[in-house]
Structure 1
Amino acid sequence: MDVKKTFAALPWWVKWVAIPAIALFVFGGLIASVVGFILGLLFKLLLFVALVGGLVYVVRKFTSSSGT
């Protein structure tokens, strides 16, 4: 039996509602952990960039004021 023919025979609500709902139920925890990991990584990256930028700003400010 062909997969395309099987899915073609199903009603629209099974293809677009029931199957995605089952996939979210089965893989929901995995999807949530991956999204959480990515968001945590982006937050840490932005925090790192902000801290390095602040450090560069402070060092430049103090070195330029003490040099004159």
Structure 2
Amino acid sequence: MTDSALLQPLARARSQIAQWQVRAAAAGLALRKPPPEPTSCCGRGCNGCVWEGYYDALGFWLEDAAQALQAC
């Protein structure tokens, strides 16, 4: 992926992480750390790009955050 192709979904991902962290803090919960953003993308749009893995891991993190907040 090119840098410009990453900006929109990355900004959205960062916003979602921040929103869930604020909700958790308001509920007195500590969430596990979100997945780290990749630092090794070559920018060639590879099949199985590190960004694909990141967004998959982020999806699981968001599901865990939602479940944690529903359990309170």
Shorter-normalised TM range: 0.3 to 0.5
Q: TM-score scaled by structure 1?
A: 0.38
Structure number with greater Rg is: 1
Q: TM-score scaled by structure 2?
A: 0.36
